[in-house]
Amino acid sequence: MFVKTLLPTDFSPDARAATGCLAQVPGIVEVVLLHVLQANDDGDLARKVEAARQELQKDQEDLSAAGVKVRTRVEVARPGRVPEAILRAAAEEKASAIAMGARGLSPLRRYLLGSISSAVLQDARCHVLLFRHLPVTADGVDPRFCRLVLSRILCPVDFSKPSYELMEAVKEQPGSGEVVLVHVVPRGVTLPGQGGGMERVQASIQDLAARLDGSRKGVQAIVRTGDPVREILSAAEEADASLILIPRYGHKDYMKSVAIGSTAAAVAAGSDRPVLVRFPQVHLEITSRELTPAEFPLADRLWEYYHGQKGDPATDRIFGVWVEGAFAAVARCRLHPEGGEVDAVFTPEEFRNRGYARKAMRVLVDACGDRTLYMHSVASLEPFYRTFGFDVIPEKDLPPMIRDRYAFAEGHLKEAHVTPMKRVPSEPVRQ
């Protein structure tokens, strides 16, 4: 998880404490020490860059003495753009993880990440290790708070794909010690099965523990009921965990267009001990196919947020995309004597920007592309539909039954931001 780690530093006591603790993390091959200067108009940038390089040299010597390969890097960013510079450096370095000393600057600092740490955590595309609230003395970090970070790991699990991927990562991580698994059943949630389903939950978490047992000092499994964030933090304190290791996404997050799951973000913000937010390598199960008439209510429910459309089995062929069993995108071809009318292409907001609408259109065109297809495209989506062989046509070239849908804007489709388009069967689909 830490083969190549980017360590941003601002030379503060918290950052220096994180540098000292990072040297104790097993499995690190290389550390890239990064300092980001915020440029201004004082004309003294060259001197500041040189001063930063000298400060980085001190940290480099400390890490090198611990047997870690170290490089240094200085970047210049516009004021307020430090997080973007850190994330860009992580991408360019192909870093496995970003490690940071996280500190809040508000009166609620115990419960808040600093603004830079929070922004990096929000948008990182790799693991993020946050060292929290390390007491610093004149001699450096109090050794009681800088023990081996992986000596006692608390892992929240929710039996999702990211949870199982997390278990495999723990098994493969060199130097990891005891593991405490904790699953929290949210208060008020009714579990199916006898005994409220708790027997099944206990069996599932014991199964995860069995996968880990034998490869380390010990594995403990805990099931709790209540607020997930509060119970995870409480369990970490009671177990005296050296690290909270949590997937970036929970079972309701990882197939959606969210930057980070709400539980992971809140645990990172509220913990008083190191937190590793793991970026999971999860393969999503995605299915694209035509709906049966019995499944039309699935599309109707999605269309409640899109002009209240309704599917009609007598005239409609509807196509959808399922992600991990969740209905994520829909497209319709309504059959007319003159050809097919493509419309109602819709993806709920939480599933957008992942290509699901394209998958729905792909299966629609494959199934209905043997006939002439027409559509009223939103003007901004014209390039998208061109990739499926649609071309812009004059409004007068639309068949009457299809043109009648926009009779209220006849002759004024441009003002309505609508573009008539047509696809003929002989045209190849462009990808």
Distances (CA, A) of 353 to 257, 266, 278, 358, 382: 7, 24, 22, 10, 17
Distances (CA, A) of 208 to 154, 219, 336: 13, 10, 55
Mean residue pLDDT across the chain: 83
Among all chains, which residue has been given the structure tokens 């539909």? 385
- What is the model's pLDDT at position 413? 58
Distances (CA, A) of 122 to 25, 119, 192, 310, 407: 23, 5, 34, 38, 46
Beta-strand relationship, 286-290 and 316-323: antiparallel
Residues 17/21/23/25 CA torsion (nearest 10 deg): -150
Q: How confident is the model at residue 382 (pLDDT cuts 50, 70, 90)?
A: very high
Among all chains, which residue has been given the structure tokens 């319709």? 332
- What is the model's pLDDT at position 137? 54
Beta-strand relationship, 391-392 and 373-378: unpaired
- Of residues 109 and 353, the one with the higher pLDDT is 353
What's the average model confidence in pLDDT over 6-18? 84
* 304: exposed, middle or buried (Cβ count in 10 Å: 0-12, 13-18, 19+): exposed
- What is the model's pLDDT at position 426? 64
What's the average model confidence in pLDDT over 376-401? 90
CB 30 within 8 Å of CB 41: no
CB 165 within 8 Å of CB 257: no
DSSP helix/strand/coil, 261: coil
- What is the model's pLDDT at position 353? 84
Instruction: Say what percent of the chain tops pLDDT 90.
Output: 40
- What is the model's pLDDT at position 106? 42
Helix (H), strand (E) at residue 130: strand 127-132
User: Residues near 143 by Cβ (< 8 Å), separated by ≥ 6?
Assistant: none
- What is the model's pLDDT at position 255? 73
pTM above 0.95, yes or no: no
Instruction: Say what percent of the chain tops pLDDT 70.
Output: 85
Among all chains, which residue has been given the structure tokens 């069967």? 425
Paired tokens of 73: 């890097």
Separation between Cα atoms, residue 201 and residue 299, nearest integer Å? 33
- Of residues 361 and 285, the one with the higher pLDDT is 361
pLDDT digits (tens, 9 = 90+) for 18-43: 887 887 787 788 999 999 988 776 66
Domains and CATH numbers, the chain: 1-146 (3.40.50.620), 147-242 (3.40.50.620), 286-423 (3.40.630.30)
- Of residues 66 and 278, the one with the higher pLDDT is 278
- Of residues 132 and 321, the one with the higher pLDDT is 321
- What is the model's pLDDT at position 156? 94
Report the range of poorest mean pLDDT among 110-124, 151-165, 195-209, 223-237. 110-124
- What is the model's pLDDT at position 10? 87
DSSP helix/strand/coil, 346: strand
- Of residues 404 and 108, the one with the higher pLDDT is 404
143-158 exposure pattern, b = at least 16 Cβ within 10 A, e = fewer:
eebbeebbbbbbbbbb
CB 22 within 8 Å of CB 130: no
pLDDT digits (tens, 9 = 90+) for 303-337: 987 777 899 999 999 999 998 888 999 999 999 98
pLDDT exceeds cutoff 60 at 429: no
Backbone angles phi, psi at 231, to 5 degrees: -70, -35
Separation between Cα atoms, residue 395 and residue 374, nearest integer Å? 11
What's the average model confidence in pLDDT over 141-150? 60
